Amino acid sequence: METNNRLDHALIALRQILRATEISSRALAKQCSLTPSQLILMEVIAKGGPATPTALARSVSLSQATVSALLDKLQQRGLVIRRPDACDRRRISVALTDEGNAILESAPSILQQRFESGFNKMDDWEKSFLVAALERTAMLLDADELDAAPVLDVGAIGQPSK
């Protein structure tokens, strides 16, 4: 009986996490028409200034192909601009446009930022315990081998949640 009760609590917690991620993604899509992945990419550009797609991919732990797809969508909306590098014309530099900066300033706090804030307040032993528990959970779901970036998002990366 005790095992079923613990299992129920674990499944409820997992469902709550999934729902929180979905609700946060939908709110961001509704307010700004952005995915969390797009928003995080824009934040990295805003903090670090113009950067190459390769550097951005490293910064957000996404593949270069995924970052290129995200940048294509952001550029189509006029939120970023790609320019040849001043020193090496073969290299492309990505910067936010004025509209991109405005969208970024008006964007709501995303779930990932709330998680990061709470996580950073935890003691080191709590962080280690939580990471170990989450990694074990991923293993239980046969998800530990899935390619994933440190971005809390639902659905395909680069696609607004519906």
Tell me: the pLDDT tens digits for 85-123?
Answer: 777 788 899 999 999 999 988 887 778 788 989 999 999
List domains and CATH numbers for the chain.
2-140 (1.10.10.10)
Q: What is the CA 106 to chain-centroid distance, rounded?
A: 17
Q: Would you place residue 162 in the very low, low, confident or very high pLDDT band (cuts 50, 70, 90)?
A: very low
* Section 126-145 average pLDDT: 92
The answer to whether residues 53 and 93 touch, using CB atoms and an 8 Å cutoff, is: no
The answer to whether residues 36 and 28 touch, using CB atoms and an 8 Å cutoff, is: yes
Write down the pLDDT at residue 148: 67
Write down the pLDDT at residue 160: 41
- Whether the pLDDT of residue 3 is over 70: the answer is no
d(Cα 55, Cα 131) in Å, to the nearest integer?
26
Q: Which two tokens stand for residue 54?
A: 């390769």
Cα distances (Å, whole numbers) of residue 113 to 3, 10, 27, 110? 34, 24, 14, 5
What residues are paired with 82 via a beta bridge?
Answer: 94
Write down the pLDDT at residue 37: 87
The answer to whether residues 67 and 56 touch, using CB atoms and an 8 Å cutoff, is: yes
Task: Give every CB contact of residue 145 below 8 A, 6+ residues apart in sequence.
Answer: none
On the CB side of 26, CA atoms within 13 Å amount to 7
Query: Which secondary-structure segment (H or E) carries 84?
Result: strand 80-84
d(Cα 155, Cα 142) in Å, to the nearest integer?
18
- Please give the model's pTM, rounded to 2 decimal places: 0.70
- Whether the pLDDT of residue 67 is over 90: the answer is yes
* Section 145-152 average pLDDT: 67
The model's pLDDT over 4-63, given as tens digits with 9 standing for 90+, comes to 899 999 999 999 998 998 888 888 888 888 988 898 899 999 999 899 999 999 988 888
